[in-house]
Amino acid sequence: MQATLVAFAPARAGIIARMIKTLPFTAVLWDMDGVLVDTFDGHYRAWSRLFAELQHPFTLEDFRRTFGMNNRNIFRALLGTDLPEEEFQRLSERKEDYFRTSVRGNTRALPGALEWLERFHTLGIRQAIASSAPQQNIDVHLDELGIRPWLEAAVSGEMLPGKPDPAVFLRAAEVLAVPPADCLVIEDSVQGVEAAKQGGMRCVAVLTTNPPEKLSRADWIVPDLTRLTLEQLRAL
């Protein structure tokens, strides 16, 4: 689905302006994996392949508890130590090559994601990607989904402190020149929700990868984005 830009007559523009004033945020910061696109299986297969080559144990539970972290924090959590920089870069690039090979040509938006991207754009809400993923991964998904016209920025947290540190969200807010308190984060991971709250932002969580009890810090939780409503957003 390719994004389209729409112009509105003055009367409708006035209605939209009034709708914006009823929302408690002026910008939306989108996580990517598990929110915009379902990359769970692709990442799991890539990490499983890498750790098998390293002859290191790796389980589905290991994957679930580190999902949403950047690669540096994943290696630290699973290996119990920091890798030398050269080895970290080599292994991280290998894993991401495995991942991009598996998803290229197979990217599908999660239910409701494209509709809300377009709706927020129509309402004049500013939007950016704020993801732990490497920039190359983000670019693959943005190009395959055709959603760049709806977004003002795509910020990778690969070289920033990883979630639950709020650095990637704060950086995206800075790029948009929007105060953190005026930002809504849409997340699916425990680490991502915590990062949003530590950054002083509102947060909607979707149940793509975690049960609701693990996402209780979010301001609102929905099974998927087709269940999200403007009324819920106004109440945040």
DSSP assignment string, 143-201: HHHT-GGG-SEEEE-TTSPPTTS-HHHHHHHHHHT--GGGEEEEE-SHHHHHHHHHTT-
Q: Catalytic amino acids? A: 31, 33
Average pLDDT, integer, range 109-138: 94
What is residue 14's predicted lDDT score, i.e. its pLDDT?
A: 46
Q: What is the mean pLDDT of residues 10-18?
A: 46
Amino acid at 27: A
State the residue for tokens 């402190």.
Answer: 161
Tell me, what amino acid is at 103?
V
Average pLDDT value for residue range 161-172: 95
The mean per-residue pLDDT over the stretch 78-82 comes to 89
Listed residue (88, 94, 38) closest to 78, CA to CA: 88
Categorize the per-residue pLDDT at 21 as very low, low, confident or very high, splitting at 50, 70 and 90. low
pLDDT category of residue 100 using cuts at 50, 70 and 90: confident
Rounded CA gap, 29 and 120, in Å?
A: 11
Give the number of other Cβ atoms within 10 Å of residue 197's Cβ: 19
How would you classify the pairing of strands 27-30 and 153-156?
Answer: unpaired
CA distance 94 to 198: 32
17/186: higher pLDDT: 186
What is the average pLDDT value for the chain, to the nearest integer?
89
The burial of 50, by beta-carbon neighbours within 10 Å (0-12 exposed, 13-18 middle, 19 or more buried), is given as buried
pLDDT at 20 over 80: no
> Of 39-43, 71-75, 124-128, 191-195, where does mean pLDDT reach its minimum?
39-43
Mean pLDDT (whole number) for 111-140: 94
Query: Which long-range contacts (C-beta less than 8 Å, at least 24 apart) are formed by 114-117?
Result: 114/1, 114/145, 114/147, 115/225, 115/226, 116/225, 116/228, 117/3, 117/30, 117/36, 117/147, 117/150, 117/151
- The reported pLDDT for the residue numbered 18 is 55
pLDDT per position as a tens digit, 223-235 = 999 999 999 999 9
Give the residue-averaged pLDDT of 153-179.
95
Q: Please give the average per-residue pLDDT across 50-63, as a whole number.
A: 93
pLDDT higher than 70, residue 39: yes
Confidence class of residue 104 from pLDDT cuts 50, 70 and 90?
Answer: confident
Give the percent of the chain with pLDDT over 70. 91
Give the pLDDT confidence score for residue 13 in this predicted structure: 43
- Which DSSP letter does residue 33 get? B
The model's pTM? 0.80
pLDDT digits (tens, 9 = 90+) for 211-226: 999 999 999 999 999 9
The predicted model gives 142-169 an average pLDDT of 93
Spell out the domains of the chain, with CATH numbers in brackets.
10-38+109-234 (3.40.50.1000), 40-103 (1.10.150.240)
What pLDDT sits at residue 8? 35
Q: What is the mean pLDDT of residues 117-133?
A: 95
Beta strands, E only, 51-156: 126-131, 153-156
